[in-house]
Structure 1
Amino acid sequence: MSTSIFNRRWAALLLETLARHGVRHVCIAPGSRSTPLTLAAAANRYFVCHTHFDERGLGHLALGLAKASREPVAVIVTSGTAAANLYPSLIEAGLTGERLIFLTADRPPELINCGANQAIRQPGLYSSHPTLSIDLPRPSPDIPARWLVSTLDSAMARLTQGALHVNCPFAEPLYGGDELQYEEWSAALGDWWQDSHPWLREEDPHQVLKQPDWSNWRQKRGVVIAGRMGTEEGVKLAEWAKMLGWPLIGDVLSQTGQPLPCADLWLAHPQARHLLEDAQLVVQFGSSLTGKRLLQWQGLCRPEEFWLIDDLPGRLDPSHHRGRRIRAKVGEWLDLHPAQPRSPWAADLNSLAKDALEVTSEYLLNRFGEAQLAHRLPELLPDNGQLFLGNSLIVRLIDALAQLPAGYPVFSNRGASGIDGLISTAAGVQRATAKPTLAVVGDLSALYDLNSLALLRQCSAPTVLIVVNNNGGQIFSLLPTPEAERQRFYCMPQDVAFSHAAAMFQLGYACPENWQQLQQALQQAWRHSGATLIELQVPASDGAETLQHLVKNMVAN
């Protein structure tokens, strides 16, 4: 029984250390081997504990919490394949920068590689994908408490982005015992327990430096590409680019208000490409671009220099331009590099973007479907709310056909761009902010994360999940996939409806057949405190064909 008590003391110190580094949310899956961690988290009054029976969804719930709160989030799972199910969310966090701490309980060393139940080789389980990894020893009073706390302090100080994997072996017994045992081990940290600071404080000397030749570059013809960034950054960047007179091509995740909307359409126009050839400097803020034609232009452009500014590490430029890779927060960099008022040098792009938006509005006026949903999505957004976008076709349609309001919070999983965990990530985003939330995903994405509809039952504000049911992965209709094999091996239509899923998880449900019914369903949902699933049953290839038609129309004109 003494083992179980020391396991608890060890775990309590571990969790308390994480709290000193800003961890507030802890996501917990059921399991016996993780009992010391689970009970320690539950006993710490600083934490908000979330639970889910599906570890894959749990990892994405944590991802969503970290996205919206911008704080590190901890995850506790038991040993075995439970830990393996966290892999997709860990990979996504590594690409988009959210800080996650995965606490994976493990069997002690003597139970590994000997046929013991639920025992796998967990050290190094996630290969190169975590930012940092710690393989803790079996808890022992022979190891000073200051070693454990300083080890975690050091790792958390260096965790500026991505995931920290802490593998935690625990020997049995896991339950019971005299809770007064081993008090002296914890007490060795003295008045630290009454403090609120880390035991060991490490400082990051990284500073953002001003480009010494900025005053010269800002006089030139520049183009701004806006990728994924925060709301305040997006608004500030739009104002900065406007003052410079530089065209800003904004991604759906840029939150800039996309001053040149429908870029995926007008970038297909020869006049647009001709105008942009005169750019002397291209500055990209943020990564993870969505639009096909923006990615194509970004890859082919040849300015004098190409600058990419993002707080994440790595090159982040798949086209390997000549120029500068500047690691900095967008807002901090803009403050150091003020704009100088100048007249727009590529004003004709405004006319092209305006024409693209007007043609899109006219074409989709009476065409109910996913393309119309994408174009008119701003009309459906809740006041003081937020938007979560799924992957595959729907995010591309919204990027190409809509103009989202500047500064309106938009979230997504556009790092690895997978369809796993989208509903659970949206649930985490909602829980972190307690704001009304609209999420839009495709039918295969919803099926892939169907278990996580259970998480929507605990929403703290009105939440709407729109499932665009185009019967399969219709993104492949945009690609040159072999037509004879497209349905069976790519689109994989499932011929399902989601009414029974909504009923199973006790969610509100609607299946509108026209735009007016969709608006009414949303209006009713925003007055309801819980979650509503709205299914949009649309013709299979209509969205992809609409986008292709509008692009061809832009090229022809």
Structure 2
Amino acid sequence: MTNESLLTASLVLDHLVAGGAREFFFAPGSRSAPFAYTAAGRDGTDLRAHVRLDERSAAFHALGAARATGTPSAVITTSGTAVGNLLPAVLEADHAEVPLVLLTADRPPELRGTGANQTTRQPGVFGDHVRAAVDVVVPRGLTGAALGADVAEALAPALSALRGDDGVPPGPVHINVALREPLQPALDDLPVSSAGAGRTDTGRADTGRADTGRTGTDGNGAAGSAAGPGWVPSPLDPVHAVDLGPGEAAELAAAAGCLPQHRTVILAGDGAGPAAAEMATALGLPLLAEPSSGARGGETAVGPYRLLLDSATGRSIERVLLIGRPTLSRPVGRLLARTDLRTAAWQPAPVAWYEDGRRQETVLRSLGEVLDFTGRGAPEWLAAWRGLGAQAQRGVDDELDHLIRTAPGFLPGPAVAREVWRACGRDGAALVAGSSNPIRDLDLSAEPGSEGAGNVRVIANRGLAGIDGTVATAAGVSLATEACVRVLLGDLTFLHDAGSLLHLKGEGIPDAQLVVLDDRGGGIFATLEHGELAEEPRWAGTVERFFGTEPEADIAGLCRAYGVPVVEVADLPGLREALSRPIRGTSVVVVAARREGLRDLHARITRRVDALGTGSAG
């Protein structure tokens, strides 16, 4: 490798790998070719390269990989509109504090502003949605140590942000690299690393497609320094908001018996992490945990807690400790807005998802402050929540089972979520939940005490809760960790990202089972105020057109067109049989559902649980 652009690309990748990045997702393009040739030469050694057809999908693949591992992952694009396609993933990574690297190739400065093909104003294109943005422009003729020093200096702010220096919350960084022609190695250049280094997995027999992406490159790669004996997948360790520091678990146990008693609950929002469950257990406090909190399987977790907040027990709460980010329900929002109780948020470090002074919770930085606030729970306080939660869970299950028996031919969303949760508890698959109804269905019907619940790891894009990129996010989770993934999503969410089903020949195939709740449109709107308007004839057409948005698509046929195995189910035995199959390669389960009656189902569940909550608190 002798030319400037290949040398620059190699140096940039060296720095990113040294900073912890391992998964690199490429979209095809000419200006970014130096990164492709360089990565190909070291694929399967100190990094792993994946190729995806479009930039938006590739970005969400990288987002999923970074969110699942807690380490940086990168998406690499050519110049021009390719860069703009990264924005949805950038916004999600910003608010979800995911370390996503946006590595964009650009024209050199002498071509910028001249009307040159595929050239636009890329530096600063993501505004304040990135933690740092750098424009790497190497002066002509720079070589050797001088080139290395120049690149290192240019990259420093982005690498510092990835490390979280100066207390900056994790998040996306933009590295824009100007590259001059030639963009490819000379014909007589040799790749530094031989084909197939570190790749041993030869295929997925049951998908009908060889997983040749895990056997390496075609040997035409170039430059880059090889390192390590072969690829080792990253552990599945999702990004979460709070970790107990060294000795803090012991401090919790020692302090518990000496604290005053308060009617405190711990509210674990998205990404709270296992620390929330450990604290609730140690202090004997009820745990109200969203599915993607990472704490739902805690010993003191309460099932359909959002239905209990207006009960006598819920109204008797004195204090709420928030860990992570609450995003799912209005009852939780009303709880945190109450002026008759005290609220606090445990944030050992600053977070990116709100501005200081914009929320009413008192921010607590140290564990000592947290313990002073929470106190411990009286045995009868926790018992009251556990008993009420168990009764509410039975009430939810009874209503779902009754509907399944009396209205055959389709399955209600919460029942599908319940079965998916239980399946993940049994087989250990990670669970990626789509936004809209699926994550809320899990919140309602995923029983904390069910078999294996403590081992279910839920990942969801709750930074901005968009439906875009869900399929790609799940694929990134699987590819980075080599874990089996089960995805729960609605038909519109699936169709929005159906392009991410496309597997290019020679690329790795994620082990992912997509469970698509096909209710022919936007079911969530039926549960909101729009659903009430839809019952009025003068508004029904408008609501259906603009919110129901029924697609004219054959989901099963679409899957077959992409070469993805698919099965259609409409009853509980069929769903359970599909969920019992080993997850190998990518497959889809299409579940027949309906939007009609969804509003009534939720109303019946609410009425049934309300009838349980009239007693006094413990």
TM-score (normalizing by structure 2):
0.77
Distance 1:554 1:219, change over 3 A: closer
Cα separation, 2, equivalents of 1:144 and 1:336: 54
Partner Cα separation in structure 2 for residue 59 and residue 12 of structure 1: 21
Partner residue of 1:190? none
Shift of 1:311: 4.8
1:414 and 1:144 map into 2 onto residues whose CA distance is 41
**2-structure distance, mates of 1:172, 1:305:** 58
In 2, Cα distance between the equivalents of 1:40 and 1:466?
37
1:45-444 maps to which residues of 2 (within 5 A)?
Answer: 45-142=45-142, 144-159=147-162, 160=164, 161-177=170-186, 219-229=261-271, 233-234=273-274, 236-256=275-295, 257=297, 259-269=301-311, 271-276=312-317, 279=318, 281-300=319-338, 302-309=340-347, 311=349, 313-314=351-352, 316=354, 320-326=359-365, 343-345=379-381, 347-366=383-402, 367=404, 368-381=411-424, 383-404=427-448, 405-444=453-492
Deviations 1:147-173 (A, max 9, x none): 212432453133231111011122233
After superposition, what is the alpha-carbon deviation per residue over 1:283-311, rounded to whole angstroms, capped at 9, x for unaligned? 11111432331222122254345233365
| Equivalent residue, structure 2, for 1:497 | 554
User: Residues of 1 paired with 2:33 and 2:289: CA distance?
Assistant: 47
1:308 alignment partner AA: W
Q: Distance in 1 between matches of 2:354 and 2:445?
A: 26
CA distance change for structure 1 residues 273 and 428 in 2, over 3 Å: closer, same or farther? Answer: same
Cα separation, 2, equivalents of 1:64 and 1:242: 30
Contact 2:65 2:480 in 1 (8 A): yes
Post-superposition shift, 1:117? Answer: 1.6
Structure 1 range deviating more: 338-347 or 66-75: 338-347
**1:432 to 1:548, Cα distance in 2 relative to 1, 3 A:** farther
Once residues 218 and 227 of structure 1 are traced to their aligned partners in structure 2, the CA distance between those partners, rounded to angstroms, is 25
CA distance 1:315–1:471, shift in 2 (3 Å):
closer
Classify the secondary structure of the residue corresponding to 2:379. coil
1:462 deviates by 4.4
1:473 corresponds to which residue? 522
Are the structure 2 counterparts of residues 304 and 520 from structure 1 closer, same or farther at C-alpha, using a change threshold of 3 Å?
A: closer
Q: Does 1:452 align with 2:500?
A: yes
Instruction: Give the deviation of 1:439 after TM superposition.
Output: 0.3
TM-superposed CA distance for 1:5, in Å, is: 1.1
Aligned to 1:30: 28
State the one-letter code of the partner of 2:3: I
User: Partner of 1:347: helix, strand, or coil?
Assistant: helix
* Amino acid in the other structure paired with 1:515: L
Structure 1 residues 141 and 549 mapped into 2: Cα distance closer, same or farther (>3 Å)? farther
1:456–1:220: structure 2 CA closer, same or farther, 3 Å change rule? farther
Aligned residues: 522
Contact 1:245 1:342 in 2 (8 A): yes
Deviations 1:386-445 (A, max 9, x none): 111000111111112222512421111011100110000000111122122110111111
- Shift of the 350–316 alpha-carbon distance from structure 1 to 2, 3 Å rule, reads farther
Cα deviation for residue 218 of structure 1 reads 5.7
Q: Distance in 1 between matches of 2:504 and 2:35?
A: 25
Partner Cα distance (2:104, 2:15) in 1: 16
Tell me, in whole angstroms, the C-alpha distance in 2 between the residues paired with 1:300 and 1:553: 25
1:145 Cα shift?
Answer: 1.8
| SS of residue in 2 equivalent to 1:249 | strand
1:335 positional shift: 11
What are the equivalent positions in structure 2 for 1:514-533 lying under 5 Å apart? Answer: 514-524=571-581, 526=582, 529-533=584-588
Shift of 1:344: 4.5
CA contact (8 A) 1:62 1:100 kept: yes
Q: Distance in 1 between matches of 2:266 and 2:374?
A: 14
Asked whether the equivalents of residues 53 and 504 of structure 2 are also in contact (C-alpha less than 8 Å), the reply is: no
Computed over aligned residues only, the root mean square deviation of the Cα atoms, in angstroms, reads 3.4
In structure 1, how many angstroms separate the alpha carbons of the residues matched to 2:226 and 2:185?
27
Please list the CA deviations of residues 498-523 of structure 1 after superposition, one character each: whole Å capped at 9, or x if unmatched: 11111112111111121001111222
The gaps in structure 2 that reach 5 residues or longer are 165-169, 190-224, 229-243, 405-410, 613-618
- Give CA deviations for 1:199-252 in whole Å, capped at 9, x if unaligned: xxxxxxxx98999xx99876543221111237xx42x53243133222211111
Deviation at 1:474, TM superposition (A): 1.4
Distance in 2 (alpha carbons) for counterparts of 1:336 and 1:22: 37
Range that drifts further, 455-464 or 66-75: 455-464
Separation in structure 1 between the aligned mates of residue 245 and residue 483 of structure 2, nearest angstrom: 33
Aligned equivalent of 1:464: 513
SS of the residue corresponding to residue 363 of structure 2 reads: strand
- Are residues 551 and 80 of structure 1, via their aligned partners in 2, closer, same or farther at CA, if it must alter by over 3 Å? same
Aligned to 1:201: none
Flag the 1:170–1:487 CA change in 2: closer, same or farther, 3 A.
Answer: same
Report the alpha carbon displacement of residue 456 of structure 1 after superposing the two structures with TM: 10
Q: Does the 8 A contact of 2:478 with 2:511 survive in 1?
A: no
Counterparts in 2 of 1:535 and 1:553: CA distance versus 1, 3 Å: same
Amino acid in the other structure paired with 1:352: L
Instruction: Name the CA shift for 1:239/1:169 in 2 (closer, same or farther; >3 Å).
Output: closer
- Structure 2 CA distance for aligned equivalents of residues 33 and 334 of structure 1: 51
- State the secondary structure of the residue aligned to 1:36: helix
Equivalent position of 1:188 in the other structure = none
1:550 to 583, 605, 608: 605
In structure 2, how many angstroms separate the alpha carbons of the residues matched to 1:5 and 1:425?
Answer: 35
Task: Tell me: CA distance 1:319–1:251, structure 2 relative to 1, closer, same or farther (3 Å).
Answer: farther
